[in-house]
Amino acid sequence: MRTDTLFFQLFQSFHTLLFELIDRPIAEAEGYKFSSAEIKEKAFRFDGIFMPTANDKPIFLAEVQFQPKEDFYSEFLAEIFLYLNQYRPIQDWQAVAIFARHNSEPTPDKFCQELINLGRIKRVYLEDLRQQTNSHGIEIIQLILASEKKAPKLARNLAEKIEQETNTELRDNVVEFIEAVLVYKFPKLTRQEVEAMFTHSDLKKTRVYQDAVLEGRQEGLQIGEQRGLQIGEQRGLVKGQSAMLLRQLTRKFGKISPRIKSQISKLSVAQLEDLAEAIFDLQSSADLSAWIKKQLLH
């Protein structure tokens, strides 16, 4: 699952989430603006930068790691010091290493351990998050971490809880995250299995659900037979992934032209997953168009 994309969106949508993870007062989040900055040279990119609007607060540089990676700390430190060298911030800083589980963290070398001991690097292990919480951001993280067996129940519980939310924008945002996690987490689900998960009314109204299931059902009926149903469901899934990516691209670049939308609809599942990663590096609609054109030529 492309967790970098999800966490970028989570940090962007829930501005208090990082502060909840590092046990800082939620009120501190009011003095920060979220961004994701590319570090030149090797094109490093943080998963999140929380820049204070006042000079007496520290900058938080966040990196999320779900899979074991031996060179995680060396690359993280390279990002940190390249950032400090290029941007020369006058504020203090703290790095936040967020691991899915304790076994996702490599053993810090002596230098990293010194920075950890000094408090320059704070470590967060998502598996240690409290189970009972009123934070929707934390609940979405728990859904991301959940096993395939437990995820459907967590998704339904969260959907039932968020349906009571009077803030419609927040409710719709959480529902989009639920559907995004389930689509990424279960790319090979059959139509019946997807329908079994999306039992709640808010989820059944979402565009991604309707596109994925209805498209699969219609195309499957047109083609006929069991193989036709499978093909239709797969096409529906592609359409659902395309719809989610279009929403992310619209947030970043504004209105997306019909031509680019049409090109995105022609991408394969693998290419859509690559685009979800490439979003971080694309700086303009022209970059997006060039990236898609290159994919379609292959």
b vs e for 176-186, b when ≥16 Cβ sit within 10 Å of the residue's Cβ? bbbbbbbbbbb
Q: Residue 243 has what pLDDT? A: 73
Average pLDDT rounded to a whole number, residues 117-128: 96
Q: What is the pTM of this model?
A: 0.64
Q: How far apart are CA 95 and CA 195, in angstroms?
A: 41
CA-wise closest residue to 127 among 92, 154, 102? 102
Average pLDDT rounded to a whole number, residues 111-121: 95
239 or 269, greater pLDDT: 269
Residues of the chain above pLDDT 70, percent: 77
Residue 121 has pLDDT above 90, yes or no: yes
- pLDDT, tens digit, for every residue of 6-40? 888 899 899 899 999 999 999 999 999 888 776 65
Structural domain boundaries in the chain: 3-128, 206-297
- pLDDT, tens digit, for every residue of 209-230? 555 555 545 555 454 444 444 4
Residues of the chain above pLDDT 90, percent: 35
**How many C-beta neighbours within 10 Å does residue 161 have?**
13
Please give the radius of gyration of the chain, using alpha carbons only, rounded to the nearest integer.
20
Q: Residue 1 has what pLDDT? A: 56
Q: Residue 277 has what pLDDT? A: 72
Give the chain's length.
Answer: 298
Q: Residue 231 has what pLDDT? A: 46
At residue 199 the predicted structure's pLDDT band, cuts being 50, 70 and 90, is low
At residue 269 the predicted structure's pLDDT band, cuts being 50, 70 and 90, is confident
At residue 101 the predicted structure's pLDDT band, cuts being 50, 70 and 90, is very high
Q: How far apart are CA 185 and CA 145, in angstroms?
A: 10
Residue with tokens 């490599």: 106
Q: Mean pLDDT over all residues of the chain?
A: 80
CA-wise closest residue to 34 among 4, 3, 58, 60? 60
- pLDDT, tens digit, for every residue of 78-89? 999 999 998 999
Q: Residue 45 has what pLDDT? A: 75
Both tokens of residue 2? 């492309």
Residue with tokens 């060039």: 290
145 or 148, greater pLDDT: 145
DSSP state, 190? -
- CATH code of 3-128, in short, is 3.40.1350
Q: How far apart are CA 252 and CA 288, in angstroms?
A: 11
